[in-house]
Amino acid sequence: MYIITGGAGLIGSNMVKALNLRGISDILVVDDLKEGIKFKNLADCDIVDYVDRLDFIKRLQAGWDFGKVEGVVHEGACSATTEWDGEFIMKNNFEYTKTLLHWCQSMEAPFIYASSASVYGMGPVFKEARQHEKPLNMYAYSKFQFDQYLRRYQSALTSQVCGLRYFNVYGPREQHKGSMASVAFHFHNQILKEGKLKLFEGTDGYGNGEQLRDFIHVDDAVAVKLWLLDNPGVSGIFNVGTGRAQSFNDVARAVIQHHGRGEIEYMPFPEHLKGRYQSYTQADIGNLRQAGYTAEFMTVEEGVPKYLAWLEQNPG
């Protein structure tokens, strides 16, 4: 059995679907479906069971027999960067992940968990090393602190443990995220509704719409996880990005080209975001390459049209 926490979310549900495509349906999905619309992400997937996130951890702590566990992919977390209830965040993100880590070690089961590129704060260096880690909010701190916790135990691990620091992930099954969905998703909807794409004007020395991010298609993020499960001898903390920063204008142009229409409208940069906005991110993927991962990552020009085609085939 594979256990996927956060299995109804963007990355988790795509991981479930990828396992299905390998002929695997013995999957336990763990999530919080209070926001019930997320069920749509699993409607075309095959799983053996679903358990609420709180019930799951209670069962685990009570010694529930889950049978042979082939791997645990832990995507579940409160990812709101505006949540300042530190007690809640540390229990939900940090303590929960610690419990899973030690349980997987006792079961000698691979454990792949979601860290975050937010641990780097404003950068400007995005490499998996303590001197570059400067979390700016509670969400980022919870991810950073678990990475620190893992580092203490790394030399004594009994089975695979990998932390994945995702950069700007976009792609199918993110509609439930609302305002937190990717710019590609919002640009697509803006063209359909208004025929215009809205971008910020320049800031931090960047021109209009020229701020740079490392945009990674969710299929590429999932491919990294599948490779890790296929290579249980690999452990560590890895950036998951393309290693190639591209501009918001690049994303906008890819959307316009796909639709064959539309124009860009630049909006004044919000005052409250000045000095608090990441104008540049680019994953250093040297550690991932050194570990043996050789697959190429989609560019914005390749990934965005693929995503938009999926949205058109799966309206609503």
Within the chain, which residue ranges are assigned CATH 3.40.50.720? 2-169+215-243+284-296
Q: Position of tokens 């710019």?
A: 183
Q: What's the pLDDT tens digit per position in 35-72?
A: 888 999 999 999 999 999 999 999 999 999 999 999 99
Looking at 21-180, which runs of residues are DSSP E strands?
27-31, 49-52, 71-74, 111-114, 161-166, 168-170
Specify the CATH architecture of the domain 170-212+245-281+302-313.
Answer: Alpha-Beta Complex (3.90)
Q: What's the pLDDT tens digit per position in 115-131?
A: 999 999 988 999 999 99
CA torsion 203-204-207-211 (nearest 10°) is -90
Within the chain, which residue ranges are assigned CATH 3.90.25.10? 170-212+245-281+302-313
CATH superfamily, domain 2-169+215-243+284-296, is NAD(P)-binding Rossmann-like Domain (3.40.50.720)
Rounded to 5 degrees, φ, ψ at 184 are: -60, -40
Residue 192 CA from chain centroid, whole number: 26
Of these residues, 2, 96, 113, 139, which one is catalytic? 139
**Are residues 103 and 57 in contact, defined by beta-carbon separation less than 8 angstroms?**
no
Query: What is d(CA 84, CA 144) in angstroms, rounded to the nearest whole number?
Result: 16
Indicate if 139 belongs to the active site: yes
Q: Position of tokens 């104008």?
A: 279
Rounded to 5 degrees, φ, ψ at 297 are: -105, 145
7 burial class (0-12, 13-18, 19+ CB within 10 angstroms)?
Answer: buried
Residues 6 or more apart whose CB falls under 8 angstroms from that of 178 comprise none
- How many Cβ atoms from other residues are within 10 Å of residue 273's Cβ? 11
pLDDT at 80 over 90: no
pTM recorded for the entire structure: 0.95
Identify the three-state secondary structure at position 234: coil
Q: What's the pLDDT tens digit per position in 162-214?
A: 999 999 999 999 998 888 899 999 999 999 999 999 999 988 889 999 999 99
Across the chain, what does the average pLDDT equal? 94
Q: What's the pLDDT tens digit per position in 260-297?
A: 999 999 999 988 877 778 889 999 999 999 999 999 99
Of these residues, 177, 277, 280, 293, which one is catalytic? 177
Q: Position of tokens 């993110």?
A: 174
Indicate if 266 belongs to the active site: no
